[in-house]
Amino acid sequence: MEETPNCPKCGMANTYFDGALNVCPDCFHEWGAGEGETESAVDETPRDSNGAELQNGDSVTVIKDLNVRGSSLVIKRGTKVKNIRLTDNPEEVDCKINGSGIVLRTEFLRKG
């Protein structure tokens, strides 16, 4: 029995063949035979919570109060962070807040 491929759009393995097309029930993407092998499954571009592309040196604003693990520090919503640095993980950025180096998730940031 042939295994169904992972979804080329979202990368999930929960796919099935419905007789004519492969279907992903997680993102509702449908594709034909051989189509998913050439596409990249994951977008490696760092993006903020609104989908804007982030680059080194950008300024961002925190959109949610964040508790820093291992510390009593709380980063308040609306805190502006200047000169971010991208990491190898497109979902994280390095920055300095109050002189401390911190890694923030891009899902809690807004560009600008």
102 touches 96 (CB < 8 A): yes
The per-residue pLDDT string of the chain (112 residues; one tens digit each, 9 = 90 and over) reads: 467 788 888 888 888 888 888 888 888 888 886 665 544 456 688 999 998 999 999 999 999 999 988 888 899 999 999 999 999 999 999 999 988 899 999 999 999 8
Please tell me whether residues 67 and 100 are part of one structural domain.
yes
For the CA atoms of the chain, what is the radius of gyration?
Answer: 19
Contacts of 107 (CB under 8 A, 6+ apart): 49, 91
Question: Residue 107: which CATH number?
Answer: 2.30.30.40
Instruction: Look at the chain and report how many structural domains it folds into.
Output: 2
What does pTM read for this prediction? Answer: 0.61
| Exposure on the CB side of residue 22, measured as CA atoms within 13 A | 20
Residue 63's Cα: distance from chain center in Å? 16
